[in-house]
Structure 1
Amino acid sequence: MESIHRDTSKRLAIVVPVSNEARTIRSVLAELLKLQPDDLIVVENGSTDGSGQIAKSMGARVLSYETPLGNDVPRAVGALATDADIYLFTDSDLVIPAEQLLPLIEDIESGADMAMNAIDWCARYPKPDAPSIARYYLNLCLGRRDLGLENVLTIPHAFSRKALDRIGKEVLANPLLATALVIYEGLAVTVPTQYNVLDKNRARKAHMTLPGDKLPYAYQRMHGDATEAFAHLFTRKGPRFGFGPGLQDRSAYDNRHLYTASWVPSAKPVTEPDVTLVLSISHGTVPLRRFLEQMKDRYRLIPVVHSAEAKVTQLLERLDIPYIHIPHFVGHNVAFAIGAEQVQTPIAVFHDTLQPLDHYEIHPFAAPIRAGKAHVVVNDQSMYVGRLEGMSPVLIGNYYLNIVANEPELTTSAINLPPYGIHVPSFRDIGWAALMNPSLAQIVALERGLTVIPGLHLDIAHRTNVHWRPVLMDENTLIGDQLESLYYWVTKYGYRGGFNDGNRQRHVIPAGHPAYLVTPPVGQPHVDLHEVLSH
């Protein structure tokens, strides 16, 4: 067997989980032995076909467990059983040439702390799957969109001694958490090799969607891994990961009665008296007059004017439209929450007038509610589902949260991109304060069994004046809102958000690092939305 040259002054440990892989284990180990490992560890778990004996005959150190340990746990077990400068991880069902593994080792030798195998082409699929969305969004929220969806969920990969000392070897039981902690710690990450392991994976029942499920069992586990990673990071980075509320002044909601005390709705008859249009008006845009003239005889109107020029209030007064006035800018989400409390009709449609609309574009957000087909109608953004590399971070986050709430069919559509319609009686129990974070409002609505459907597609970015886009669509604020919503979810449903753990036998790994939890918290039955919004 011809060896491959590497820096043998660095101690190399290779960890290989095995479960009934007698067909491939000999060829797998033959390639690994070319790398001259100082310790070759095979973690045999639940194997009955003699795989472990084959590994022993080839000089590997075999750790045997009678029952399967579940996904990823064997990697943590193997790493904890050895000490090395470089740790290489691969699987026993894929024969990967040693030449393809060497770049991972060489990058660690050169100072990298985590070296991964690229699957970047998955970020260019026109219809991304749930695991890809979770991985991409996690990296994105950690400020590493450049990494795409690269993650040590994919084998092979390698770590430095420093990396595993810092994050804890135990954490390898959840590869998405391990990746996230390496990034959070600011350690050096590389992607030096590209070996298509996905094409060589065997079809498994766990990767098929079963009747009654919306995601395959394995996809649910992987989404739970990402959610658990976020839950750990919340303890270090806070519920919004440092993404501030931007221009949204939530404190104004506490003083809302000062602004609404003089509010008196119009008693004039309108064409559709069961619909109230709650408007956020912050600037006197050119189309505003025409819009108000179109709407004032058609719907009940609650304009919430904030930080607008005097000409806006003068316009409303000339048109004889009552309004709520807030003397400073509060953001449209806060304006919606304040205005919603004054709604007396069964249907409310919320709209920021920075985005030009025609009267016929309001109807699709009210009609399904009137027909009893929905409780919430959102702006349909599903046509933007595509290659993750080119998708808006906000839309990726919407997709991720919709999966968390078990509504993957909603894809990228959510009420954080108005307009949207709401069945008022169904939403009152949630509380109008939730509208200050529309992502939170949607996830709670879904949690409580309300029907959320996409309505009309309105292209906010391209129909809104470029000057106003940052006001209407501040990316950092929207991502912070999404993370705050996820914080609510894991607080209530536990670190894994209610997703399965893939039958991992975590108890075989001692809890020696604070980031590793043998039993992740299961959550608490009641979470105060006002407390969540206080962040």
Structure 2
Amino acid sequence: MCMTNRLSIIIPAYNDGDTLPSVISQCQALCPYEIIIVANGCTDNTEQIALNYHCKLISDPEPLGHDVGRAVGAANASGDVLLFLDADISIPSQQLQKFLEPIYTNQAEVVLNHIPLKPNSVHPVVIWKRVFNALMGEQHFGLDTLTAVPIALTRYALNQIGIESMMNPGIATLKTFKSNLPISNSYQIDLSKNKSRIGHQKTGTNLSFMQKVIIGDYVEGLSLLQLPNLDDHSGPKKIEMLNNAIGETLTPQLNQITPIANYDEKTLSVVMTLQQKVFRLHSKFKCLAKLPAHELIVVMNSDLAEEKRIAKEYGAKIITVNDPLVYEAYQAIGAKAAQGDIILTINGTSSFKYKEICDYIERIANGADLVLTKNNLKRSISLLLALQYAFNLAVDRKDLGASSLLSKHTAMSRKGLNIIGWESLHCPPLAQLKGILNGLSIVTSSKCVSNGKDDKDIDLHMKDYLVALQYLIKEKGPRGLFANDGRKRNKV
């Protein structure tokens, strides 16, 4: 625990001559042991201002970035408490004093600024802060990480985290949480009125360089977790598990499918999954009967006798599952059985309209390999939607929004299924990732659905996304697709 109050304030600065005097003045009111200005790549009067205010100046001719700058400052600090600030954000000294109080009163080794969660925020960095904490099992920390200032650490905490880890806020945050250090995040300093840095602003359907760096930081942080074993989620083990789950298969006498002229002579398979009793099942089959000639496959629990009888009436190939499984397993089993060039999967417990399912089919017929249901990001964003969106951001597909193979209905081409592998559909994020990494054409449906609530399987979904991230890290390295962070790590 911290036994003294020697305070080192560390401020990386890059051409911040206009704002630095105000920042330093507020810091001096705290009577710190030292104020360290890490001037990197400055071509203005930043360095002279630091000297005029009697700060400890560390100068580097190259731009280092805030994270490396903080690590450089920490390596040169002598205090027992370290406070990290930015040179373009002036925080009143009274607020900083209040912020440091948990350390001075021996209640915490780490203090993070509390950022209230706004459920409708779709900013990529905000989404990833929330998801990163949730995937680490620290959902109660909300958006609070070591990414944004102010941050305060005791010398003991810094030694536990490691100075080099400060260069990557994702790694620093993970090590902080996993070191069982007492953390305080109860105090909020509202920085929303401060200027927003250009690199962090929204950029349409493309991520900015800084957004990619930050997301790469979080992916690299997660790479240090003990992630699920990939062999348990794809390959021979998964194939064996799914095959063993299949009970009986009832095939109708007329099971031949024919090419459809208006779908460019492609054949169509429709897979309906039924995990529980379904009301108005007749009307759903009647809707599907309007489709051009197709193969109909129903994958269902073995105890759904009435649903089985109705499916037989409509000439479906019926595959029963002995033990109830998650929806994705039914989807995978149905895809394995499908013979068509276009495979449309319908969740039988969800509603659908004829025009909507035709949209999925037509998009595949027109050249897409995978069609995902478009999810609405304009309303309150559940953790599940945040997970789906964060994952698409991590694979540089911001254009997909929160669309995912976890959705109610999907469609894919035969080519797409062959590349992804039917067994991978049991882990939808992994299947989607394989499609993206293999260059498949992945699009969303025309209709947007709202999915503002988390479902009861949120923990299972988080595990699936960790599996997919494990595969991404295995294939592309610890930072995934965003390997270039531009950091000069040799400076520390």
Contact 2:245–2:323 under 8 Å retained in 1: no
- C-alpha distance in 2 between matches for 1:322 and 1:24: 71
Q: Secondary structure at the match of 1:232?
A: coil
User: Are 1:391 and 2:386 matched, yes or no?
Assistant: no
Work out the CA distance in 2 between the residues paired with 1:257 and 1:188: 46
Distance 2:396 2:304 in 1: 43
Partners of 1:281 and 1:126 lie apart in 2 by 33
Contact 2:123 2:202 in 1 (8 A): no
Report if the CA contact (8 A) 2:199-2:211 is conserved.
no
1:370-392 superposed Cα distances (whole Å, 9 cap, x missing partner): 233x22111221x2444xxx421
Q: 1:346 aligns with which of 338, 341, 344?
A: 341
Aligned to 2:47: 52
Aligned residue identity for 1:405: V
In structure 2, the partner of 1:238 is: 227
The alignment's C-alpha RMSD in Å is 3.3
1:250 deviation in Å? 4.6
Greater CA drift, 174-183 or 199-208? 199-208
1:321-375 deviation per Cα after TM superposition (whole angstroms, max 9, x unaligned): 3322332223321222222122221111112322244544422221211233x22
Aligned partners of 2:389 and 2:3: how far apart in 1? 46
Matched, 1:437 2:427: yes
SS in 2 for 1:354: coil
- Which amino acid in 2 is paired with 1:477? L
304, 308, 330: which is aligned to 1:309?
304
The 5 A counterparts of 1:303-382 are: 303-372=298-367, 374-381=368-375
Closer, same or farther in 2 for the Cα pair 1:482/1:76, shift >3 Å? same
Residue 263 of structure 2 corresponds to none
Deviations for 1:274-305, whole angstroms, at most 9, x for unmatched residues? 22111222333232344235435743111223
1:20 aligns with 2:9: no
Contact kept in structure 2, 1:281 and 1:304, CA below 8 Å: yes
Aligned partner of 1:495 among 465, 478, 487: 478
Partner of residue 25 from structure 2, selected from 13, 25, 30: 30
Out of 223, 241, 261, the residue aligned to residue 215 of structure 2 is 223
Contact 1:220 1:500 in 2 (8 A): no
Q: Give the direction of change, closer, same or farther, for the CA distance of 1:49–1:284 in structure 2 (3 Å limit).
A: closer
Q: 1:288 is matched with which residue?
A: 281
Task: Describe the shift of the 1:345–1:166 C-alpha distance in structure 2 as closer, same or farther (beyond 3 A).
Answer: same
2:136 maps to which residue?
142
Q: Give yes or no for the alignment of 1:159 onto 2:153.
A: yes
Equivalent position of 2:184 in the other structure: 190
Residues 57-66 or 313-322, more deviating: 313-322
Q: 1:117 maps to which residue?
A: 113
C-alpha spacing 1:320/1:81, structure 2 compared with 1 (3 Å): same
| Secondary structure of 2:59's aligned partner | strand
SS of structure 1 residue aligned to 2:224: helix
Instruction: Return the offset for 1:208.
Output: 7.2
Partner of 1:507: 490
**Distance of 1:400 and 1:144 partners within structure 2:** 16
Contact preservation (8 Å) 2:242, 2:329: no
Partner SS for 1:428: helix
Contact 2:11 2:70 in 1 (8 A): yes
Residue type at the aligned position of 1:55: A
Matches within 5 A, 1:382-531: 383-386=376-379, 390-455=380-445, 457=447, 474-499=457-482, 501-509=484-492
Distance 2:319 2:190 in 1: 59
Change (3 A) 1:265 1:200: farther
Listed as ranges, the gaps of 5+ residues in structure 2 are 261-265
| Offset, 1:411 | 0.8
Provide the C-alpha distance between the structure 1 equivalents of 2:21 and 2:14, rounded to a whole number of angstroms.
13
TM-score by length of 2: 0.86
Identity among equivalent pairs (%): 25
Deviations 1:112-149 (A, max 9, x none): 222223442xx437452111111111122233334332
In 1, the alpha carbon distance for the partners of 2:124 and 2:185 equals 22
Tell me, in whole angstroms, the C-alpha distance in 2 between the residues paired with 1:446 and 1:207.
Answer: 26
* Residue in structure 2 matching 1:181, options 157, 160, 175: 175
Q: Is the 8 A contact 2:39 2:60 kept in 1?
A: yes
Post-superposition CA distance 1:4-58 (Å, at most 9, x none): xxx9932222111123333343332232122122232222222344533442343
- Count of equivalent residues: 479
Question: In the superposition, relative to structure 1, how do residues 180 and 200 fare at CA in structure 2: closer, same or farther (>3 Å)?
Answer: same
| CA–CA separation in structure 1 for the residues paired with 2:6 and 2:241 | 60
- Quick one: structure 1 residues 113 and 429, their matched pair in 2 at CA, closer, same or farther if it must change by over 3 Å? same
Distance in 2, Cα, partners of 1:478 & 1:206: 28
Q: Distance in 1 between matches of 2:351 and 2:90?
A: 58
Question: How far, CA to CA, are the matches of 2:246 and 2:3 in structure 1?
Answer: 73
What CA distance in whole angstroms lies between the structure 2 residues aligned with 1:68 and 1:168?
Answer: 22
Equivalent of residue 267 in structure 1, options 244, 247, 255: 255
Matched residue SS, 1:344: coil
After superposition, the Cα gap between the structure-2 partners of 1:112 and 1:8, relative to the gap in structure 1 and judged at 3 Å, is: closer
In 2: Cα distance, 1:252 partner to 1:264 partner? 26
Q: Which amino acid aligns with 1:425?
A: K
Partner of 1:255: helix, strand, or coil? helix
In the aligned structure 2, how far is the partner of 1:96 from the partner of 1:283? 56
State how far apart, in whole Å, the 2-side matches of 1:257 and 1:329 are.
9
Code of the aligned partner of 2:219: T
TM-score between the two structures when normalised by the length of structure 1: 0.80
